């Protein structure tokens, strides 16, 4: 009987520990994704600005060609 109680207690502790590890791993992944998004935000903005500059250059070239 003591073995059953001890085994049950051990099983409950192991189950509780494994659940908290999964939460920590998910939380770490969320934090890493947030940091990556924050780091990529200026790069995305720069790419948008570059695209806008290229589009304006093409438009200016068309205007010059029409003259």
Confidence (pLDDT) at 36: 94
Residue 6 confidence (pLDDT): 80
Number of residues written out for the chain: 67
pTM of full prediction above 0.95? no
10-residue mean pLDDT profile of the chain (67 residues): values are 78 68 75 93 96 97 91
Assigned token pair, 19:
């659940």
Compute the distance between CA of residue 7 and CA of residue 2 in angstroms, rounded to an integer.
8
């Amino acid at each position: 009987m003591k073995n059953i109680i001890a085994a049950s207690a051990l099983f409950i502790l192991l189950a509780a520990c494994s659940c908290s590890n999964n939460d920590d791993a998910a939380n770490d992944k969320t934090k890493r994704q947030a940091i990556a998004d924050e780091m990529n935000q200026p790069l995305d903005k720069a790419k948008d600005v570059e695209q806008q500059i290229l589009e304006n250059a093409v438009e200016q070239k068309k205007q010059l060609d029409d003259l």
